[in-house]
C-alpha cells in the first residue's frame, strides 16, 4: 500500500504515521555541526517551515524521548552518531505565531494574552512544584490571563528559567512564523505598538537569557535588527540567497524524481519541472513542495495550487503604489523576461514604501521571483538578475499581480485591438493601442526611451500567450527583432513588432517607416520561417509620449 500524500499535515509524528515523507533530517546534522545561539530561517509560505520545526521539536524534546526516537528509524540522521547523541536531551518550547493576526492593537493584545496563557498551561502540572513563590504567582496570573500586559514581554524568559530548574537542562525555544503578527500590525496601522512589544519579547528571550540553550525561528521575511532584534549579535540568518541550510525547505530535483518514481509517475518529471521548479535557494535548485504534493494528490493535474495559499497584504499594498517604470518591469517579467534589481535582505517596515527595490526584495523572498544571476552583493544587499520561476507563478502574476496595475481599459479593448492586429488591420490596431496609451502613460513619459515602450508592449502581449509564444530581443536574420509572436496554432499568422521612440510628433511617420524597413532589411522573419510559419505580419510602431503610429510592412516584402 502506497503512503498518503501529506497535504495540510505538518506535524512530524503524524506524517511518520502513514504519510509520504521527504527526508529532511540532514538539516539536524547540519545544524549541530555548527550550532548557533539563535538561527532565523526565512522561506516563502508553504515551503515546509512548520514541518521542519515540528521535526526539530520531536527530535529534541526530553518529554517522550524514547517514543520519539523510533519516529526517526530509517532516516538519514540516524547514520550520524554524534547528532543522535543530542536526541531527547532538552525541554522544548514550541510556539507558532501564524494566526496572531487582528485588525486592532487592542484585539491583538487579547490574542497575545490568550496564546501565552495557553503555552504556559501546557506546563502547569509539571512545573508547579519547582517554582519559588514569586515565580508561581506570576505563572498563575499568566495562565489565568490576568498578568499585566508588559509582563508578557518577559514571559519566554521566565518559562525558560523554570524549565531549566525542573529538567536540569537548558531549554530550546522554537518559534514558527515569527513575523506574521508584525506584518499584520503594519498592514492595520498599529506597527509602532506591536514592534515595541515583540522587541521586548524576543530580546529578553534571545539576548539576555542565560537559561536558554539555543533558539530557531522561521518566517517569510527578515525584519531588520533595529526593528526587532536590537542588540542581538549572535543571530545566524538563512535566506533564499545566503546563510546555509539551502535544501532544508522545499524539494530538490532528486527528491521530486524519487517521489515520482515511488508513485509511478516517472513520465511526469518534465511537467513537474515546468510548473513547480525554478527556485534558486543559495545555488540549489528547489521545487515548491506544497504544489508538488497537491499535483500528485490530484493525479498529476498541473494547476496553480500554491497561489491560493500565499496571499500577502504587504505585496498588495505596494502594488497599489507603484510607478509606471515598475509597472512596465512587472509586465516584462510576465512575458518571460528578466530584470536587474537591488535586493535588501532586511526589512524596515516604516520605510518599505519609500524605496523602489523593496518591492523586488519582497517578491524574491516571498517566492514570486527567482534569482538567476548575481551581479554584485555585500553583507545585506545584493544586485541580482531575477525572473519568474515557473508556469505556476507566471499564472499568479497574470491573475493576482497584473490586475492591481493601472490598466484602465476593459478586456474588450484588448480583444478588439489584438484581433485587428492578427487580421492585418493596422488602423484598428493603432486605435486600440492609442486608447491604452491615453489611460496608462503619463505625459511625463514623453522622455522615456524606447525600452519603456518595449516593456509596456511586452506586458500587453501577455493577453496573447495562449495563442502565441512571445519572444523579445532575439537574433533573427541579420539582427535582433524587438518582439515576435510565434503562433501556437497553424491558422494564425506570425507577427513582428519593431519600435521607435521620438520626441517630436512630426517625426513619428518617418520613424514608423524606418521600423518597417528594418523588419525587411534585417530579415527578422527568418526564425518564424524556420518554424514553418507561412503568413507573417510586420508592424512598425512609433511612439511619442501618449501618441502612437502603427504602419504595416507590405506582406509581399516579408513573404
Q: Is residue 396 part of a domain?
A: yes
Give the end of a domain, one of 404, 425, 453.
404
What lies within 8 Å, CB to CB, of 48 at 6+ separation is 24, 248, 249, 250, 289
Question: For residue 49, what are the contacts with CB-CB under 8 A and spacing of at least 6?
Answer: 41, 43, 176, 177, 218, 219, 249
Domain match, 130 and 215 both: yes
β-bridge pairing 479-480 and 475-476: antiparallel
Same structural domain, 352 and 479: no
Q: 212 and 67: one domain? A: yes
Report whether 63 contacts 167 (CB < 8 A): no
Burial 124-145 (b: 16+ CB within 10 A, else e): eeebeeebeeebeebbeebbee
In which element (H, E) is residue 236 found? strand 235-238
Distances (CA, A) of 327 to 98, 290, 333, 395, 449: 31, 29, 10, 17, 15
Q: Is 1 inside any structural domain?
A: no
pLDDT of 279: 93
CATH of the domain at 495: 3.90.1570
Say how far apart CA 174 and CA 55 lie, in whole Å. 11
Structural domains of the chain, count: 4
Residues 204 and 320 in one domain: no
| Per-residue model confidence (pLDDT) at position 352 | 60
Q: Cα–Cα distance between 464 and 487 in angstroms, integer?
A: 10
Q: What's the pLDDT at 445?
A: 45
Question: Quick one: how far is CA 61 from the chain centroid?
Answer: 31
Distance of CA 296 to CAs 20, 266, 540, Å? 11, 12, 47
Give the end of a domain, one of 266, 288, 308.
Answer: 308
204 shares its domain with 79: yes
- State the CB neighbour count (10 A cutoff) for residue 81: 7
Question: Which three cell numbers mark 291?
Answer: 504544489
CA distance linking residue 283 with residue 373, whole number of Å: 10
Q: Are residues 224 and 76 in the same domain?
A: yes
- Please tell me the distance from the alpha carbon of residue 326 to that of residue 449, in angstroms, as a whole number: 15
* Same-domain pairing of 198 and 282: no
Distances (CA, A) of 396 to 101, 301, 310, 370, 406: 24, 17, 10, 14, 17
Residue 333 within any structural domain of the chain: yes
Whether residue 77 is found in the same domain as residue 148: yes
In a domain, residue 244? The reply is no
pLDDT value for 377: 74
**Type and span of the H or E element at 186:** helix 180-188
Residue 2 lies in a domain: no
DSSP state of 2: P
pLDDT < 50 regions, the chain:
310-311, 406-408, 443-446, 556-557, 559
Residue 282 lies in a domain: yes
Q: Does one domain contain both 358 and 488?
A: no
Residue 442 lies in a domain: yes
488 and 547 both lie in a single domain: yes
Q: What are phi and psi of 13, to 5 degrees?
A: -65, -35
264 and 203, same domain (yes or no): no
Taking the C-alpha atoms of residue 276 and residue 8, their distance in angstroms, rounded to an integer, is 18
- Pairing mode of beta strands 479-480, 468-472: unpaired
* Domain identity same for 27 and 174: yes
The domain boundary, picked from 238, 273, 292, lies at 238
Say what the pLDDT of residue 283 is: 92
> Around 87, how many Cα atoms within 13 Å sit in the side-chain half-sphere?
25
Q: Which letter does DSSP use for residue 265 in this model? A: -
Exposure b/e, 314-344, CB count within 10 A at least 16 = b: bbeebbeebebebbbbbbbbbbbbbbebbbb
Given this model, what pLDDT does residue 556 score? 47
Domain that holds residue 257: 251-308
**C-alpha cell of residue 528:** 518564424
* Rounded Cα gap, residues 436 and 410, in angstroms: 10
CATH label of the domain that carries residue 46: 3.40.50
pLDDT the model gives residue 399: 65
User: Which residues are within 8 A (CB) of 473 and not within 5 positions of it... i.e. 6 or more apart?
Assistant: 480, 481, 482
In whole angstroms, give the CA distance from residue 313 to residue 180.
11
pTM (2 d.p.): 0.75
Evaluate whether residue 518 is within a structural domain.
Answer: yes
- Euclidean distance between CA atoms 403 and 397, whole angstroms: 9
Sorted by sequence, the CB contacts under 8 Å of residue 308 that are 6+ apart come out as none
Query: Which letter does DSSP use for residue 129 in this model?
Result: G
Q: What is the pLDDT of residues 368-427, one digit of tens each?
A: 899 998 888 776 678 899 999 998 888 777 666 665 554 445 556 778 899 999 999 999
Amino acid at each position: 500500500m502506497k503512503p498518503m500524500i501529506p497535504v495540510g499535515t505538518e506535524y512530524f509524528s503524524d506524517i511518520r504515521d502513514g504519510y509520504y515523507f521527504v527526508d529532511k533530517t540532514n538539516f539536524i546534522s547540519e545544524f549541530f555541526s555548527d550550532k548557533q545561539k539563535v538561527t532565523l530561517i526565512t522561506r516563502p509560505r508553504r515551503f515546509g517551515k512548520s514541518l521542519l520545526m515540528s521535526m526539530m521539536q520531536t527530535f529534541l524534546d526530553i518529554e517522550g524521548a524514547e517514543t520519539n526516537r523510533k519516529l526517526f528509524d530509517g532516516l538519514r540522521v540516524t547514520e550520524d552518531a554524534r547528532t543522535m547523541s543530542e536526541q531527547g536531551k532538552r525541554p522544548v518550547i514550541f510556539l507558532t505565531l501564524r494566526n496572531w493576526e487582528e485588525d486592532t492593537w487592542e484585539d491583538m493584545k487579547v490574542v497575545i494574552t490568550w496564546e501565552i496563557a495557553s503555552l504556559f498551561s501546557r506546563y502547569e502540572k509539571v512545573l508547579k512544584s519547582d517554582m519559588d513563590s514569586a515565580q508561581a504567582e506570576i505563572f498563575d496570573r499568566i495562565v489565568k490571563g490576568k498578568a499585566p500586559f508588559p509582563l508578557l514581554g518577559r514571559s519566554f524568559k521566565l518559562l525558560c528559567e523554570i524549565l531549566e530548574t525542573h529538567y536540569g537542562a537548558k531549554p530550546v525555544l522554537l518559534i514558527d512564523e515569527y513575523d506574521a503578527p508584525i506584518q499584520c500590525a503594519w498592514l492595520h496601522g498599529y506597527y509602532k505598538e506591536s514592534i515595541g512589544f515583540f522587541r521586548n519579547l524576543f530580546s529578553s528571550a534571545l539576548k539576555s537569557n542565560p537559561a536558554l540553550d539555543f533558539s530557531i525561528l522561521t518566517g517569510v521575511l527578515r525584519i531588520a535588527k533595529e526593528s526587532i532584534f536590537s542588540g542581538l549579535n549572535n543571530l545566524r540568518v538563512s535566506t533564499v540567497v545566503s546563510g546555509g541550510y539551502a535544501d532544508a525547505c522545499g524539494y530538490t530535483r532528486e527528491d521530486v524524481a524519487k517521489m515520482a518514481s515511488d508513485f509511478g509517475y516517472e513520465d511526469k518529471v518534465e511537467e513537474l519541472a515546468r510548473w513547480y521548479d525554478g527556485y534558486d535557494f543559495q545555488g540549489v535548485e528547489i521545487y515548491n513542495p506544497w504544489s508538488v504534493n497537491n499535483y500528485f494528490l490530484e493525479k498529476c493535474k498541473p494547476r496553480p495550487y500554491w497561489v491560493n495559499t500565499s496571499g500577502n497584504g504587504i505585496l498588495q499594498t505596494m502594488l497599489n503604489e507603484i510607478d509606471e517604470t515598475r509597472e512596465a518591469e512587472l509586465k516584462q517579467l510576465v512575458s518571460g523576461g528578466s530584470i536587474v534589481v537591488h535586493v535588501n535582505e532586511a526589512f524596515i517596515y516604516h520605510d518599505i514604501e519609500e524605496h523602489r527595490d523593496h518591492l523586488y526584495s519582497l517578491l524574491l523572498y516571498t517566492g514570486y521571483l527567482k534569482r538567476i544571476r548575481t551581479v554584485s552583493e555585500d553583507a545585506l544587499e545584493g544586485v541580482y538578475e531575477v525572473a519568474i520561476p515557473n508556469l505556476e507563478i507566471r499564472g499568479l502574476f497574470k491573475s493576482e499581480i497584473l490586475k492591481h496595475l493601472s490598466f484602465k481599459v476593459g478586456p474588450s479593448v484588448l480583444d478588439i485591438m489584438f484581433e485587428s492586429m492578427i487580421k492585418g488591420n493596422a488602423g484598428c490596431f493603432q486605435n486600440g493601442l492609442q486608447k491604452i496609451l491615453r489611460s496608462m502613460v503619463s505625459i511625463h513619459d514623453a522622455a522615456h526611451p524606447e525600452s519603456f515602450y518595449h516593456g509596456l508592449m511586452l506586458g500587453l502581449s501577455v493577453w496573447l500567450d495562449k495563442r502565441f509564444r512571445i519572444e523579445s530581443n532575439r537574433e533573427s536574420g541579420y539582427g535582433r527583432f524587438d518582439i515576435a509572436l510565434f503562433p501556437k496554432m497553424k491558422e494564425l499568422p506570425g507577427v513582428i513588432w519593431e519600435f521607435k521612440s521620438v520626441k517630436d510628433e512630426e517625426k513619428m511617420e518617418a520613424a514608423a517607416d524606418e521600423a518597417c524597413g528594418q523588419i525587411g532589411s534585417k530579415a527578422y522573419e527568418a526564425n518564424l520561417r524556420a518554424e514553418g510559419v507561412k503568413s507573417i505580419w510586420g508592424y512598425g510602431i512609433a511612439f511619442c509620449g501618449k501618441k502612437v503610429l502603427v504602419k504595416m510592412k507590405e506582406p509581399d516584402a516579408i513573404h
